Amino acid sequence: MLDQIPTHRPFDAFQSFVLDCKMFWTRQMLPEVRRAYEEKLSEGAAPATAEEVEALMRDDTTYQFFGWFERHQQRMKYSGRHGLAVHYAQFREHLARELAAPVEERLLQLDPGFEQPEYYTSIDIHQHPGGVWSDEIAGYVYERGAKSTAPMLRKSESLHHRLTAEALSRAGREVQRVADLGCGFGGSTRPFYMDHPGIEVVGVELSAPCLRLAARRASEDQARNVTFRQADAADTGLEEGAYDIVTSTMVLHEMPPRHIEKVLKESHRLLAPGGVSVHLDFLVRDDLFREFIHNGHSRRNNEPFMPPLNRMDIEAAHREAGFDDLEIVPFEEFTGALSPENTAWRFPWTLIVARKAA
């Protein structure tokens, strides 16, 4: 198991330092950028779009430092002297041996001839060297990196457990089968299969390294009700009309709009009549400043499809996919996240909930 890797104090200290830097950026630097922006508004500026906010703030030194800080603390996290990719490479042989250990056949379905979509392989997303698909141990790096992706999340308040509860509560009936699209290393799938053993769950993912780790974790959990399958969320190959819930977590913003449209159509195809799709992602619709920060984050974190998703007519795309019943609401990833008193940086988490006609 990964826990058997020896503790490495310089690595732990370095990653703790990077996380502290991110907390400083999150809690203190963003409010300063907001104040600088509001001062410019008081001087008579009246931007009408996020692009105009960008033009207004481009030469502001507070914002410049904010952007530089974000870009480089993320680079340090993955590729610094004690970065995640550098550190885990030391244990490649151990990790590869762990991943090669057999798991029950039902847990893992890899496709040896699978071809990755070009949009997915052309970007080192999150500044993860080589992306999350190209290295056999990338799943471990991604799993560890996810622990500090949203630094305001508290260990006692799991985002994935919150989403699972939301999805089940919106199902409106007994849930027997769930499809989790873009499941990564299985973090979003685990609350379904662990906390609800009567539900059959399938996790769909592009990355074979992530799927191998997801299956390994499920094997450690002695799970009996989950399968991890290598496939595109836009073309899963799963049975039509067989699922009560189709879900995804932070997946739509990592693909171009034309692919999102296919994923929504596939979600509709997979659902049984009356079934519900619940996609958790990032939308900013009520605050030009937050949209400007969000667009900047997409550049600095190598996530170019964030702004196109935000500009997309997601309602029309759902109607085109066959959905008529749609709800788009803010998602509170931890208690107090949506409070006006929370001035720290956070992702614009949004629930996109659609029901297939019964």
Q: What is the CATH number of the domain that holds 343?
A: 3.40.50.150
Q: Is the per-residue pLDDT at 191 higher than 60?
A: yes
Task: Specify if 218 maps to a domain.
Answer: yes
Is the Cβ–Cβ distance between 190 and 217 less than 8 Å? yes
Q: How many domains does the chain have?
A: 1
Q: Mean pLDDT throughout 328-350?
A: 96
The pLDDT value given to residue 6: 60
Q: Which amino acid is at 20?
A: D
Helix, strand, or coil here: 358?
Answer: coil
Which helix (H) or strand (E) element contains residue 275? strand 271-282
Which of 231, 143, 128, 244 is closest to 187 using CA atoms? 143
For 182, the domain range is 159-355
Tell me which DSSP letter residue 232 carries.
B
pLDDT for 5? 63
Tokens 């849930």 locate to: 175
Amino acid, res. 178: V
- Alpha-carbon span 230 to 289, nearest angstrom: 38
In a domain, 248, yes or no: yes
**Residue at 109 is within a domain:** no
Q: What is the pLDDT of residues 123-144, one digit of tens each?
A: 999 999 999 999 999 999 999 9
- Region of 329 please: left (phi>0), alpha (psi -120 to 50) or beta: beta
C-alpha torsion sign, points 117, 209, 279, 66 = negative
Using DSSP's 3-state secondary structure scheme, residue 24 falls into helix
Look at 12-16, 153-157, 215-219 and tell me which has the smallest mean pLDDT: 153-157
b/e for 133-170, b at 16 or more Cβ within 10 A? bebebbbbbbbbbeebbbbbbeeeebbbebbbebbbee
Q: Evaluate if residue 188 carries a pLDDT over 90.
A: yes
pTM over 0.85: yes
pLDDT at 158: 86
Confidence (pLDDT) at 340? 94
114 domain-assigned: no
Q: Specify if 113 maps to a domain.
A: no
DSSP strands (E only) in 23-136: 108-109
Kind and range of the H or E element at 293? Answer: helix 288-300
What pLDDT sits at residue 152? Answer: 86
Each residue of 51-85: pLDDT tens digit?
999 999 999 999 999 999 999 999 999 999 999 99
pLDDT at 7 over 70: no
Structural domain includes residue 68: no
Direct distance between the N- and C-terminal alpha carbons of the chain, in angstroms, rounded to an integer: 45
Q: Taking the CA atoms of 108, 123, 163 and 323 in sequence, report the sign of the dihedral they define.
A: negative
* 185 lies in some domain: yes
- Triad 258, 227, 218: Cα angle to 5°: 120
Residue 108 domain-assigned (yes or no):
no
pLDDT at residue 154, as a whole number = 75
